[in-house]
A = this chain, B = another copy of it.
Amino acid sequence: MIGIFDSGIGGLTVVRAIMDKLPDYDIVYFGDTARTPYGNKSGRTVVNYSLQNTEFLLDQGANLIVMACNTASSVATETVQARFNLPIYEVITPAVNQSLKMSKKMAIGIIGTRATISSGVYEEKIHEKVPDARVYSVSCPLLVPLVEEGWLKKPETRMIVKKYLHPLKVRQIDTLILGCTHYPLLKPIIAHKIGKRVSIIDSSMALAEEINHFLAENPQIDQGLSKNGKADFFVSDVTPQFEKTARSVIKQHITLKHVSL
């Protein structure tokens, strides 16, 4: 089945996109809610957590892994891909590819956690393909806690989003990558503050599309994936707040199973 992990709530936006695109495929999700958030932790710690999370998903029968967390994707992809011999997807490349399709002026903004932004991975991947693209990035560490609190429409959230986006507005970007899987939940505010001329790239849709293509072209891997339309949700900590948000993102009744890593 398809195994998906994240530090917590954000990865559920990816689960939702994969469920919409590949509704028959069985999914096992792991949210590391006992150690969330990843975005303000060191690279070494996030690599260790990503290896443990991947091991857990393999034990559950996953044979394709999605790292549905930009922080993990930014700092742990190489190590996880080197350690495990199966397809490992991350959320950076699909967003980069889509941003290069959308941007006319090649002036691209990126927002993400402190760990993601300081890794420089988005700039690197964009410049590999378009060396003279102008790329501007801003770390927005308070957006994850605001989303996890459900403050999706409050005036304080609007003010903080406006403050974070200001340097990108000044640079007149025409494309903005949401470099954290939590941020799609703030898309209405972000779109309003950055202005309607800017295309907003949400990696979850692009990622689901890419997996779909990959499976069509690799039938031997596709045949190994079970297709009963089932989804299992594991978390390392169960709290009422997380259960509530998970149900509203997935838009159906789900049962969270507790597991200690």
Complex Cα distance, B237 from A44, in Å, reads 8
- Interface with B: A11-19, A151-159, A224-232, which one? A151-159
Give Cα distance in the complex from A153 to B145, angstroms: 19
Q: Is the CB of A156 within 8 A of B148?
A: no
User: Of residues 117 to 173 in A, which have CB atoms within 8 Å of B's CB atoms?
Assistant: 141-142, 144-146, 148-149, 151, 155-156, 159-160, 163
- State whether the Cβ of A218 lies closer than 8 Å to any Cβ in chain B: no
Interface residue count on the A side (C-beta < 8 Å): 29
By a beta-carbon cutoff of 8 Å, the part of chain A in contact with chain B is 33-35, 40-42, 44-45, 48, 114, 141-142, 144-146, 148-149, 151, 155-156, 159-160, 163, 236-239, 241, 260
With a cutoff of 8 Å between Cβ atoms, the chain B residues found around residue A48 in the complex are 260
The minimal Cβ–Cβ distance linking A154 to chain B, given in whole angstroms, is 8
Inter-chain CA distance A155–B158, complex, in Å, is 13
A236 to B159, CA, bound (A): 33
Return chain B residues, CB-CB under 8 Å to A159: 155-156, 159
A48 to B258 alpha-carbon distance, docked (Å): 14
Q: Do B142 and A238 have beta carbons less than 8 Å apart?
A: no
Contact indicator B42/A237 (Cβ below 8 Å): yes
CB neighbours (8 Å) of A145 from chain B are 141-142, 144-145
Shortest Cβ distance from A246 into chain B, in angstroms? 14
In the complex, the answer to whether B239 meets A42 with C-beta atoms within 8 Å is yes
Complex A-B, nearest 5 residue pairs according to Cβ-Cβ distance, in ascending order: A145-B145, A45-B237, A35-B35, A34-B45, A41-B237
